[in-house]
């Protein structure tokens, strides 16, 4: 089971549109969209902080390794230092933290796109409902009414063609 960021699963449920409650969907969409935007921004900030911590720890470790190398008289190449940095437990933990933060950013950005698509769908559904209300006499005709209207229209068309 995937490990979702806090609040993600709850907000994910709001992507689904209930056509029977379209007015409520429109009303609650903006606050939910704002919440998703804030969560996506927070996730991006957490990712940037994790990247900065990783960079700082790598630089600190690199400096410490160079100092140890000078004190011991043992020559370390850049490749040696890079290899030791990658093996460091703190660096490995920070790399894992950064990867999880990147994954959270991808999830929140995906949900943000879903909310944008929902906004577009809500707009379309609103337009369709409005059009349906305006043309309710022709759209909501029973089959019997359509047959009667067609039978009345046929002689008129025939007269126009003559």
H helices of 6-77, in order, are: 8-12, 22-72
* For residue 141, pLDDT beyond 70: no
- pTM equals 0.68
Q: What is the mean pLDDT of the chain?
A: 85
pLDDT of residue 130: 74
Q: How many CA atoms lie within 13 A of 83 on its CB side?
A: 5
d(CA 94, CA 64): 18
34 phi/psi in degrees, rounded to 5: -60, -40
Percent of the chain with pLDDT over 90: 51
* For residue 57, pLDDT beyond 90: yes
Question: Following DSSP, what letter does each residue of 92-120 receive, concatenated?
Answer: HHHHHHHHHHHHHHHHHHHHHHHHHHHHH
pLDDT of residue 140: 55
Percent of the chain with pLDDT over 70: 88
Q: What is the mean pLDDT of residues 82-99?
A: 95
Q: Write out pLDDT tens, residues 8-50.
A: 888 888 888 887 888 888 899 999 999 999 999 999 999 999 9
* For residue 75, pLDDT beyond 50: yes
Domain boundaries defined on the chain: 17-136
More confident residue, 134 or 124: 124
pLDDT of residue 2: 52
d(CA 111, CA 99): 19
pLDDT of residue 9: 82
pLDDT of residue 162: 64
């Amino acid at each position: 089971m995937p490990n979702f960021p806090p609040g993600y699963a709850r907000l994910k449920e709001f992507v689904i549109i209930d056509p029977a409650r379209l007015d409520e969907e429109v009303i609650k969409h903006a606050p939910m969209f704002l919440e998703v935007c804030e969560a996506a921004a927070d996730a991006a900030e957490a990712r940037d902080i994790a990247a900065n911590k990783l960079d700082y720890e790598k630089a600190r470790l690199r400096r410490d390794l160079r100092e140890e190398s000078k004190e011991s008289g043992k020559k370390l190449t850049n490749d040696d230092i890079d290899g030791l940095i990658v093996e460091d437990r703190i660096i490995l933990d920070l790399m894992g933290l950064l990867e999880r933060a990147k994954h959270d950013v991808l999830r929140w950005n995906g949900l943000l796109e879903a909310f944008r698509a929902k906004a577009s769908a809500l707009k379309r559904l609103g337009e369709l409902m409005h059009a349906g209300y305006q043309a309710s006499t022709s759209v909501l005709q029973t089959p019997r009414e359509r047959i009667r209207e067609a039978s009345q229209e046929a002689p008129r068309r025939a007269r126009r063609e003559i």
